[in-house]
Amino acid sequence: MWVIVHAFSGMALGALLTTRSLWEIAIWALLLHMVLDIIPHWDYTRLVRRVRWGAADAGLAVTALVLARAVFGLEWGIIVAGAVSAMPDFELLDTLVGLKRPRLFPSHRPWFPHGSCAPLPGVITQGAIVIASFLLLVFL
């Protein structure tokens, strides 16, 4: 899934776990990343302009996390959950420049049931997750 999807869903998870320790929140955020990677989705990593897509995706995720803390004053547990949930995808950056090293994160390993589907349903799925996460952050 896109980095921004992991960042928003992680922040939503963090909003649900505010009474827990940062370590516990981080572990749940990593588990959430793996669960979301199972859901059929579409990635831009095979597009010609994947470097631009990746830069925009990662840039939006970082911007969302910075704004969430600096402008909206969300708790650190929420920010940590968003950042930790997004972090595993940074090991995929080499894909953008045509390299493909062995992956460390479980849901990026070849044996993991990584979900994929056509662009339209894949984008709609990810958009729905971002919107649901955003609504959860706003109304929780």
CA 46 to chain centroid:
18
Closer of 57 and 89 to Zn ion (Cβ): 89
Nearest to 36 by CA among 136, 131, 125: 125
Contact with Zn ion (CB under 5 A) among 8, 29, 89, 126: 89
Give the interface segment with Zn ion, choosing from 8-16, 17-25, 46-54, 86-94 (CB under 5 A): 86-94
Supply the minimum distance, in Å, between the C-beta of residue 71 and Zn ion: 27
Supply the minimum distance, in Å, between the C-beta of residue 101 and Zn ion: 15
Contact with Zn ion (CB under 5 A) among 8, 10, 32, 37: 37
Closer of 37 and 57 to Zn ion (Cβ): 37
C-alpha–C-alpha distance, residues 14 and 111, integer Å = 28
Contacts of 21 (CB under 8 A, 6+ apart): none
Supply the minimum distance, in Å, between the C-beta of residue 44 and Zn ion: 13
- Give the H or E element holding residue 13: helix 3-16
- Residue 32 identity: L
Supply the minimum distance, in Å, between the C-beta of residue 92 and Zn ion: 7
Q: Residue 57 interacts with Zn ion (CB under 5 A)?
A: no
Contacts of 115 (CB under 8 A, 6+ apart): 37, 38, 39, 40, 41
C-alpha–C-alpha distance, residues 5 and 131, integer Å = 9
Closer of 111 and 139 to Zn ion (Cβ): 111
> Which spans of this chain sit near Zn ion (rule: CB under 5 A)?
37, 89
